[in-house]
Amino acid sequence: MMNRDRPRVIAFLSGKGGTGKTTVAISMSQLLADMGHPCLLVDFDLATNGASYFFKNHFGHWSAGLWEILPLLQEGMQPLDDARKCITEVAPGFHFFASRVLLNSKGEPYEAIRLDSGLLRDQVLKPLLAWAANAKALDYVLIDTQAGYVIPAQVAAEAADAVIVVTEADAISNDAADNLLIQLGPSLPAERRYLVNKVDVRDADTYRTMREVFQTLNRLPPLPFDFSVRNAFGARQIPVSLHQPSPFLFALFETLKYTFTERFQEIADYQTMHVDSLFKNYEQRMEKLVREKDELEQERVDLRTGKLIWRYRLAQVTLAVMTLWSLAVLTFPSLLRDMFFVDLRESYLPVMIASLILSLSMAGMAFLMRQGREAAAAPDKQAREAVISQQLDSINRELDQLRSLLWATSADYLVDAEVTSTLGRRHDPRPSPIHEGGPLA
C-alpha cells in the first residue's frame, strides 16, 4: 500500500534524449494537481534543464536553482534552507524545484561542479522529501532526470518508489532503455514501468514487436504523437487543458490510471466526468475529416483526368460523325444526290473523301479550340491543385493524430495482460513488480 507518511516518489528515466520525458512529467504533475493531489516536480536534469526552461518565467529575483546552490552545499551550507529557495509554486498545488535559474548566463562549466551521489541524496532529495511531507503534505514527488546513465538518474532511482522509463517506438530507443536498466541495476526500485511515447499509428508493427520482446516489463498505456503538444511546449504551455483537449490528453488519462494505480478508480471517475464527453468531439471530427478528404481527392482526380476524358469523348464524336457520313453515302445516295446535285454513282469516291476531310477538319478545329481554352485555364487548375494538396496534407496529419489516439487508447495496447488482470478489480494498490535479476529477466 501507499506510504502515507511521505509522498510517493516517481522518477522519470530515459536511455537517450528526445523521448519527451520532461513533457510527460510536467503534464502528469499538472493533472495530479488539477485533481486535488498536490505534488512537487524536481528537475534533476543538470545538462539540459528542460523543465527549468519551461518554467523560467515563474522565477523571481530571489530564486535559486540546484546548479547555483551545489557549490554552497559542497561547502557545508545547511541544505534545507536553500532547498526552499529553489521551490516555486507554478500552479495551485503544483510545486517545482528548478535545476538551474540563471539560464541566460554562462555560469560555471558542467565539469566544474562535482556531482556526488551522497550529496544529491542526503543534502538535496532527503530535505526535499521532508519538506514535501511535513511543510506541504504533498501526495507526490516526481523527478525528471537527465537522460542516460548519470549520477542524478542513479540517485533519483534510489530514492524513488517507482521508475518510469520513457522511450520511443524505435530500436535505438529500446536498446538505450534496455542498457540504462542494466546499468542502474540494484539502484532501481522493484516497481519499474515502461512508457512508449510519441507513438504514431504507422509504428503499429514496431510496437507489436516491442510488446513481444518486453513481455516481462510492466508497460504503461502508450502516448500518441501530437503536434499540439510540441507547439504547446514550445510556447511554455502545459498541454493538458480541458479547455483545449488534445489526443495527448485523452491518452494521458489512461497512462495516469496505470501509473497511480492506488487512485485508479478516482482517476477513472474524473476522466468519465470531465474527459470522456470531449472524446466524442474527436470522433465526430474524424468522420468530418474523412468526408472532406474524399471530396478533395475526387476534385483532384477530376482536375487531372478532365482533359483525358474530354479527348476520349472527342474521339468518340469524331468516329460517330465519320461513321454517319459513310453510312449516308452508302445508304442514301438519292438523298445526297438531291442535296448536292451530284450523281454519286459517278462521283462516289470524291464525295467519300470530301466527307472524311470534312469530319477530320471539324474534329481538328474542335480540338484546337479546346486546347486553347485549356491553355488559358491551366494556371487556375495548377493553383487549385496546389491548394488541394496543401489541404490534403493538413487533413492527413490531423487524421494520423486521431488514428494514433484511437490506436494508443485501444484495449489491445493499453497494458500487458497480467497488468490488466491485476487492475481489473481496480482496488489493488499497484501492479506486480517485474521479475528480479535484470530488466529483461
The DSSP string of 160-182 is: -SEEEEEEESSHHHHHHHHHHHH
Same domain, 73 and 150: yes
Same domain, 386 and 317: yes
As given in the structure block, the three cell numbers for residue 78 are: 545547511
Residues in the chain with pLDDT < 70? 1-4, 62, 76-85, 107-113, 201-217, 279, 305-379, 404-441
Same domain, 27 and 163: yes
Question: In this predicted structure, what is the pLDDT of residue 328?
Answer: 63
E strand intervals along 126-238: 140-145, 162-168, 191-197, 218-219
Same domain, 221 and 82: yes
In a domain, 434, yes or no: no
- DSSP string spanning 371-428? HHHHHHHHHHHHHHHHHHHHHHHHHHHHHHHHHHHHHHTSGGGSS-HHHHHHHTTS--
> Directed axis angle between helix 247-259 and helix 21-34, to 10°?
80
In a domain, 192, yes or no: yes
**Cell match 556531482: residue?**
115
Same domain, 195 and 50: yes
As given in the structure block, the three cell numbers for residue 41 are: 516536480
CA distances (Å), origin 368, targets 314, 317, 372, 375: 11, 15, 6, 10
Question: In this predicted structure, what is the pLDDT of residue 384?
Answer: 79
Question: In this predicted structure, what is the pLDDT of residue 284?
Answer: 80
- Give how many domains the chain has, as a whole number: 2
Question: In this predicted structure, what is the pLDDT of residue 160?
Answer: 95
Residue 96 β-bridge partners? 41, 88
158: Cβ–Cβ under 8 A, 6 or more apart, which residues?
121, 187
- Alpha-carbon span 46 to 53, nearest angstrom: 12
As given in the structure block, the three cell numbers for residue 337 are: 444526290
- Residue 439's φ and ψ, nearest 5 degrees, are -65, -25
Do residues 121 and 155 lie in contact, with contact meaning Cβ atoms separated by under 8 Å? yes
Domain that holds residue 381: 287-399
- Alpha-carbon span 200 to 397, nearest angstrom: 11
In a domain, 408, yes or no: no
Same domain, 393 and 419: no
In a domain, 280, yes or no: no
- Alpha-carbon span 140 to 29, nearest angstrom: 9
In a domain, 383, yes or no: yes
Same domain, 20 and 147: yes
The pTM score is 0.68
Question: In this predicted structure, what is the pLDDT of residue 244?
Answer: 72
Same domain, 44 and 157: yes
Torsion angle defined by CA atoms of residues 420, 424, 428 and 432, in that order, rounded to the nearest 10 degrees: -20
In a domain, 281, yes or no: no
Closest C-alpha among 17, 2, 230 to residue 144: 17
CA distances (Å), origin 333, targets 326, 327, 361: 11, 10, 23
Closest C-alpha among 374, 368, 370, 373 to residue 304: 374
What letter does residue 112 receive in the DSSP assignment? Answer: G
**Cell match 482536375: residue?**
303
Question: In this predicted structure, what is the pLDDT of residue 433?
Answer: 33
Question: In this predicted structure, what is the pLDDT of residue 38?
Answer: 95
Same domain, 250 and 111: yes
